[in-house]
Amino acid sequence: MKIAIMGAMIEEIEPILSKLDHHPENSELDYILSNLKNIKLHYIADNRFFEAKYKGIDVIVAYSKIGKVFASLTASVLIEHFGAEKLLFSGVAGAIREDLKIGDLVAATKLCQHDLDITAFGHPYGYVPEGKIYIQSDPELLALAKDVARRKGIELKEAVIATGDQFIADPERKEWIKNSFGADAIEMEGAAVAVVCDAFDVPFFILRAISDAADMDAGFDFDTFLKSSSKRSADFVMSMLDRMV
Ligand code: SAH
């Protein structure tokens, strides 16, 4: 079994890389050395891919860089070049739904592209011919996530995620996305990864921890909470991985 773990930014995957091949009995130095020894670095398509083993399973980790194009490229390489059989995405997102607060964990139930617009031809927002407005997440990975959350006593909320090549820090745009797509959270990569995984028939799971409320304070909140929210999301994804070994 080969599992891909993906983020968009280095901050999102750092907490994952630091856990690969970690043996609790090792000292900090041993731990760093063992990481260097056991993580194989690949350079493909102007990006870095970290290949490692985690408790006996093959794991391939990468951060794509921000946005739908880089995310699609990275997901495609993870699947086509490395043969990833499942893909877990970990990162941060802006909240749309009122009850979502900074630090909350959200699992995507389905994802859409809020900036995809050929409505001039009578198509709905988020749709192109032969595509779908929403891509559904894999039900088994979603069920596993819920079970992990329940057993660990962690609150995991389900969310419709809207993706687009825009950092949303604008209450009007946020409201429009909410009303147009029934979206609960917003980010810049999830739906792109979903489209790629759906096309290659690879089960995927998109997890996000809230970093901001996509409002006027979003830029400031994002910078403040990027690290802590990234870590929350990464820790949860590692707990899922623990159940997959
Ligand atoms: N501060 C970064 C840019 C971050 S862009 C820099 O200067 O390089 C925001 C990233 O976090 C994207 O990867 C996106 O997926 C996610 N994100 C978090 N909050 C978001 C919001 N309000 N709107 C869109 N994406 C958001």
Choosing from 11, 12, 92, 167 the residue with most ligand 1 atoms within 8 A of its CB, the one to mutate for a pocket test is 167
Does the beta carbon of 52 sit less than 6 angstroms from any atom of ligand 1? Answer: no
Q: Which DSSP state fits 118?
A: -
**Whose structure tokens read 């990833």?**
84
pLDDT at 29: 58
Q: Would residue 197 be called left, alpha or beta, if left means φ above 0 and alpha means ψ between -120 and 50 degrees?
A: alpha
Q: How far apart are CA 56 and CA 22, in angstroms?
A: 12
Inter-residue contact 40 to 50 (CB < 8 Å): yes
| pLDDT at res. 39 | 87
12 part of the active site? yes
> Comparing C-alpha atoms, which of 236, 143, 229, 134 is closest to residue 191?
134
Q: Do 114 and 183 form a contact (C-beta atoms < 8 A)?
A: yes
Ligand 1 within 6 A of 191 CB? no
Task: Give me the catalytic one of 130, 212, 223, 235.
Answer: 212
Distance CA 142, CA 186 (A): 19
Alpha carbons 135 and 49: distance in angstroms, whole number: 26
Answer yes or no: are the C-beta atoms of 87 and 96 closer than 8 Å.
no
Instruction: Give the containing element (helix H, strand E) for 115.
Output: none
- Choosing from 12, 104, 184, 187, which is the catalytic residue? 12
**Rounded distance between C-alpha atoms, residue 211 and residue 77, angstroms:** 28
**For the chain, domain boundaries:** 2-244
Say what the pLDDT of residue 218 is.
98
Atom of ligand 1 nearest to the CA of 66: 13
Q: How far, in whole angstroms, is CA 38 from its chain's centroid?
A: 24
Atom 20 in ligand 1: which residue has the minimum CA distance?
A: 94
Residue to substitute in 9, 72, 212 for testing ligand 1 pocket (most ligand atoms within 8 angstroms of CB)? 9
pLDDT along the chain (245 residues), means of 10: 97 92 54 67 96 93 98 99 98 98 98 98 98 98 98 98 98 98 98 99 98 98 98 98 94
Nearest CA to ligand 1 atom 25: 187
Q: What is the pTM of this model?
A: 0.94
Cα 25 to averaged position of ligand 1 atoms, centre (Å) = 37
Q: Is the CB of 221 under 6 A from ligand 1?
A: no
CATH architecture of 2-244: 3-Layer(aba) Sandwich (3.40)
Evaluate: CB of 212 within 6 angstroms of ligand 1. yes
Residue where the block lists tokens 């759906």: 198
The yes-or-no answer on residue 212 being catalytic is yes
